[in-house]
Amino acid sequence: MSAQQTKKFQQGERVIPAAAEKAPKYYQAEDDSQAKKVRKNQRPCKPRASLQPGTVLILLAGRFRGKRVVLLKNLAQGVLLVTGPFKVNGVPLRRVNARYVIATSTKVDISGIDSSVVEKVGGDAYFAREKKSKAKGEEAFFKQGEKPEAKKVASGRAEDQKTVDRAILASLKKEPFLISYLGSTFSLRSGDKPHEMVF
């Protein structure tokens, strides 16, 4: 309100608001979308107290769900480096999300594993996918109907697997029934109550 309008209002006269102060005739049907607020700093993930290297875990999701594996190392952002061992249950060296595992009370001595191999396997570059080369021309045209070639495991990865598994198998043989325990698959049957189970 201007000074003149305020004076008229105090005297009891009717005050007509200016054109700029009138309510708009058109309202938007939908609200404007607000920009999503992004948390700038990533907070470091704190692993659960039960997820210590050497602990036997049960995988709850993925290709190897139900398998029991040995935890080797806690990686960044809640990712775990685990192994079967491959010779016992067919689970290779792989990364799994910490949310999809159950930690058991069983421990395996992994002190004999070469720490440099674990450091190398724990890096992001180790699990990076190879880029596919797109072939163009006549060769690509004639290869369309053919079956894709089976992937071959790199010799370096196979050696790393054998190095890690050799040390774990040596400690597994000291404990009776531990190899058969890791080889068995976890599953729930009718009548089982997971909340009452002690792993």
Q: How many domains does the chain have?
A: 1
* Residue 22: inside a domain: no
Residue 57 is predicted with a pLDDT of 94
User: Taking every pair of C-alpha atoms in the chain, what is the biggest distance, in angstroms?
Assistant: 101
- Provide the edge-to-edge strand list for the sheet that holds 94-97: 94-97, 79-83, 68-74, 55-59, 101-107
Residue 104 is predicted with a pLDDT of 92
Nearest to 68 by CA among 151, 136, 192, 168: 168
SS (H, E, C) 11-53: HCCCCCCCHHHCCCCCCCCCCCCCCCCCCCCCCCCCCCCCCCC
* Residue 137: inside a domain: no
Residue 120 is predicted with a pLDDT of 87
**Block residue for tokens 């006269």:** 13
Residue 4 is predicted with a pLDDT of 67
* Residue 77: inside a domain: yes
Question: Strand 101-107 and strand 68-74: pairing?
Answer: unpaired
Q: Which two tokens stand for residue 116?
A: 């440099």
Residue 94 is predicted with a pLDDT of 92
CA distance 175 to 185: 19
pLDDT in 10s for each residue of the chain, 199 residues = 566 666 666 666 665 555 556 777 777 777 778 888 877 777 777 888 999 999 999 999 999 999 999 999 998 888 999 998 999 999 999 999 999 999 999 999 988 888 888 888 888 888 887 777 665 666 666 666 666 666 666 678 888 889 999 999 999 999 889 999 999 999 888 888 878 888 8
* Residue 31: inside a domain: no
CATH code, 67: 2.30.30.30
Residue 122 is predicted with a pLDDT of 85
Nearest to 55 by CA among 90, 11, 96: 96
Nearest to 116 by CA among 164, 61, 169, 78: 164
* Residue 9: inside a domain: no
Q: What domain range is 120 assigned to?
A: 55-126+159-183
CA distance 109 to 172: 8
pLDDT tens-digit readout, 91-111: 999 999 999 999 999 999 988
* Residue 152: inside a domain: no
* Residue 75: inside a domain: yes
In the DSSP assignment, the letter for residue 94 is: E
* Residue 110: inside a domain: yes
The answer to whether residues 150 and 32 touch, using CB atoms and an 8 Å cutoff, is: no
